[in-house]
Chains A and B, each alone.
Chain A
Amino acid sequence: MTPAEIHDRLRARFGDDVVALHADLRDPAIELRPERLRDACRFLRDDDDLRFDFLRSVAGVDRRDAIEVVYHLLSYPRRHTVVLRTRLDRDRPSVPSVHDVWPTADWHERETFDLLGVDFAGHPRLRRLLLPEDWVGHPLRKDYERPAEYHGIPVGRDASPPVARGGGGDRPRPRPAMHEPKAEELAGFLRLNMGPHHPATHGVINFLLETDGEILRRAVPDVGYLHRGIEKLAESNAYLGTMPYTDRVDYLGAIFANHAWALAVERLLGIEVPPRGEYCRVIAAELNRIASHLIATGSLAMDLGAFTPFIHWIREREKINDIMERICGARLTYNYLRFGGVARDIDGETVDMIRRWLDHFDPIIDEFNRLIGENEIFVKRLARIAVISPEDAVAWGLVGPNLRASGVDWDLRRDQPYSVYPELEFDVVVGRGWRGQVGDAYDRFWCRMLEMRQSVRLLRQACEKLPPGDFWAKPKTVKPAANEVYACTESARGELGVFVISDGTDKPYRAKFRTGSFTAMSIIERLSPGLLLADLVALIGSLDVVAPEVDR
Chain B
Amino acid sequence: MLFDFATVLVFLFVAAAFVGGALVAGRFVRPRLPDPEKATVYECGERPIGSAWFNFNPRFYTMALVFIVFDVEIALTYPVAVVVRDWVRDGKALLAVVEIVLFLAVLIAALAYVWGKGHLDWARDVDGPEGDR
Contact A182 B45 (CB under 8 A): no
Contact B44 A198 (CB under 8 A): yes
Contact B44 A212 (CB under 8 A): no
Of B50, B57, B123, most A-chain CB atoms within 10 Å? B50
Enumerate chain B residues within 8 angstroms of A188, measured Cβ to Cβ.
54-55, 57
Enumerate chain A residues within 8 angstroms of B55, measured Cβ to Cβ.
187-188
Contact B49 A215 (CB under 8 A): no
Interface hits, A215-267 → B, CB 8 Å: 215, 217-218
Give the distance to chain A from B54, nearest Cβ to Cβ, in Å: 7
Of B52, B126, B130, most A-chain CB atoms within 10 Å? B126
- A192 touches B (CB below 8 Å): yes
Interface hits, B17-31 → A, CB 8 Å: none
Considering the complex, give the chain A residue whose CB is closest to the CB of B37: A178
Give the distance to chain B from A177, nearest Cβ to Cβ, in Å: 12
Contact of A181 among B46, B59, B60 (CB under 8 A): B46
Enumerate chain A residues within 8 angstroms of B38, measured Cβ to Cβ.
none
Contact of A193 among B48, B54, B123, B127 (CB under 8 A): B48
Give the distance to chain A from B66, nearest Cβ to Cβ, in Å: 16
- A5 touches B (CB below 8 Å): no
Of B43, B44, B57, B128, most A-chain CB atoms within 10 Å? B44
Contact A182 B49 (CB under 8 A): yes
- A96 touches B (CB below 8 Å): no
Contact B43 A192 (CB under 8 A): yes
Cα of A218 to Cα of B130 in the assembled complex, Å: 11
Enumerate chain B residues within 8 angstroms of A184, measured Cβ to Cβ.
49
- B129 touches A (CB below 8 Å): yes
Considering the complex, give the chain B residue whose CB is closest to the CB of A182: B49
- A206 touches B (CB below 8 Å): yes
- B89 touches A (CB below 8 Å): no
Give the distance to chain B from A203, nearest Cβ to Cβ, in Å: 13
Contact of B47 among A180, A190, A208, A529 (CB under 8 A): A180
Q: 1/0 per residue A383-402: CB within 8 Å of B? A: 00000000000000000000
Enumerate chain B residues within 8 angstroms of A183, measured Cβ to Cβ.
49-50
Enumerate chain A residues within 8 angstroms of B126, measured Cβ to Cβ.
212, 215, 217, 530
Q: 1/0 per residue A158-197: CB within 8 Å of B? A: 0000000000000000000011111111011011111111
Cα of A533 to Cα of B84 in the assembled complex, Å: 47
Contact A217 B129 (CB under 8 A): yes
Contact A179 B47 (CB under 8 A): yes
Considering the complex, give the chain A residue whose CB is closest to the CB of B40: A178
Give the distance to chain A from B49, nearest Cβ to Cβ, in Å: 4
Contact B47 A206 (CB under 8 A): no
**Tally of B interface residues using CB under 8 Å:** 23
- Contact size range, A: 20 to 34
Enumerate chain B residues within 8 angstroms of A198, measured Cβ to Cβ.
44
Enumerate chain B residues within 8 angstroms of A154, measured Cβ to Cβ.
none
Contact A181 B49 (CB under 8 A): yes
Enumerate chain A residues within 8 angstroms of B45, measured Cβ to Cβ.
193, 195-197
Contact B56 A213 (CB under 8 A): yes
Enumerate chain B residues within 8 angstroms of A194, measured Cβ to Cβ.
44
Give the distance to chain B from A504, nearest Cβ to Cβ, in Å: 45
- B117 touches A (CB below 8 Å): no
- B32 touches A (CB below 8 Å): no
Interface hits, A496-552 → B, CB 8 Å: 529-530
Enumerate chain B residues within 8 angstroms of A206, measured Cβ to Cβ.
44, 46
Cα of A440 to Cα of B60 in the assembled complex, Å: 29
Given contacts A192-B43, A529-B128, contact A213 B49 (CB under 8 A): no
Contact of B123 among A195, A196, A215 (CB under 8 A): A215
Considering the complex, give the chain B residue whose CB is closest to the CB of A178: B47
Cα of A180 to Cα of B50 in the assembled complex, Å: 11
Give the distance to chain A from B48, nearest Cβ to Cβ, in Å: 6
Contact B47 A196 (CB under 8 A): no
Cα of A178 to Cα of B36 in the assembled complex, Å: 13
Enumerate chain A residues within 8 angstroms of B46, measured Cβ to Cβ.
179, 181, 193, 195-196, 206
Considering the complex, give the chain A residue whose CB is closest to the CB of B42: A197
Contact A190 B52 (CB under 8 A): yes
Contact A529 B130 (CB under 8 A): yes
Give the distance to chain B from A185, nearest Cβ to Cβ, in Å: 8
Interface hits, B78-133 → A, CB 8 Å: 123, 126-130, 133
Contact A529 B129 (CB under 8 A): yes
Cα of A215 to Cα of B121 in the assembled complex, Å: 13
Contact of A213 among B47, B60, B127 (CB under 8 A): B60
Enumerate chain B residues within 8 angstroms of A197, measured Cβ to Cβ.
44-45
Enumerate chain A residues within 8 angstroms of B59, measured Cβ to Cβ.
213
Contact of A217 among B54, B57, B128 (CB under 8 A): B128
Cα of A72 to Cα of B37 in the assembled complex, Å: 48
Enumerate chain B residues within 8 angstroms of A190, measured Cβ to Cβ.
52, 54
Nearest 5 pairs of A and B residues by beta carbon: A529-B128, A197-B45, A193-B46, A191-B49, A181-B47
A-B contact pairs, 18 of them (CB 8 A): A181-B49, A188-B57, A190-B52, A190-B54, A192-B49, A193-B45, A193-B48, A194-B44, A195-B46, A213-B56, A213-B60, A217-B127, A217-B128, A217-B129, A218-B128, A529-B128, A529-B129, A530-B133
A→B interface (CB under 8 Å): 178-185, 187-188, 190-198, 206, 208, 212-213, 215, 217-218, 529-530
B→A interface (CB under 8 Å): 37, 43-50, 52, 54-57, 59-60, 123, 126-130, 133
